Amino acid sequence: MGTPSPPLLLGFWALPPLMIAALVGAVVWASRRAGLAGPAQARRAALVAAGVTGFWAAANALCAAGLVRFGSLPPRPFLLILTGFGLTIALARSRIGADLARHLPVAALIGFQVFRVPVELLLHRGAIDGLTPPQMTYTGLNFDVVTGVLAIPVALGIARGTLGVRAAHAFNALGALLLANVVTIAALSMPTPLRVFMNEPPNTWIASAPFIGLPATLVPVAMLGHLLLWRRLRERGEGRVQGL
């Protein structure tokens, strides 16, 4: 296993908290647009901040203590990752998720996915450092950087009215497929009975701090964005939400 460089460590300690802060800010913004009073906005923001930050911090603490390791069945990292995915789906289906979907501009729901560009740069840096399996990078089989690159022009087009609902649907479908692709590649690169990619290094780095932030925070945040946009577009199609 390689040695993480300072830029890689800095990136993975900094990016998850930044995305958590962005999510909390979005909760406040959506709650305000939904007409909630200040105290209610604050309660929602505190609940989301505590939940998401607590999960990220707990994941890092468990990894630092050596409690999230491969070798057992089911693999402990899988259990942690699946817990994060379950919490993400629960948030998307909650009343807070409903207001995020209904009251944030579609351009904002799309544009924030630009954060996937620095994520891909960090994965590439991880491969250079000998930590990330090469197939998990944009020089291998991971094309998720396309989602981040397209996010700003698609968001601007929707905000300006030059792109419409079909572009939003297409972006969301493409981004979700590319996210599913890299998650699948990551799972098939782990040292489990499901492993398909036998090249070195195996995908074990995500079971250590701060790199657990990738599956415990960054992937769920990207997933949440797609779930919220699907909810917005579906409700718009049913006539419950107007406009983009």
DSSP string, 160-188: HTSS-HHHHHHHHHHHHHHHHHHHHHHHH
pLDDT at position 69: 87
Instruction: Give me the long-range contacts of 23-28 (CB less than 8 A, separation at least 24).
Output: 23/48, 23/52, 23/221, 23/224, 24/48, 24/49, 24/52, 26/100, 26/104, 26/108, 26/112, 27/96, 27/100
pLDDT at position 2: 87
Q: Which residues of the chain have pLDDT under 70?
A: 237-243
pLDDT at position 241: 57
| Cα–Cα distance measured from residue 182 to residue 192, given in angstroms and rounded to the nearest whole number | 17
Q: How many CB atoms lie within 10 A of CB 89?
A: 15
| Cα–Cα distance measured from residue 49 to residue 67, given in angstroms and rounded to the nearest whole number | 24
Segment 106-130, tens digit of pLDDT:
999 999 999 999 999 999 999 999 9
pLDDT at position 4: 97
| Cα–Cα distance measured from residue 121 to residue 197, given in angstroms and rounded to the nearest whole number | 21
pLDDT at position 72: 77
Segment 77-112, tens digit of pLDDT:
999 999 999 999 999 999 999 999 999 999 999 999
For 162, 169, 234, the CA distances from 181, given in Å and listed in that order, are 30, 18, 24
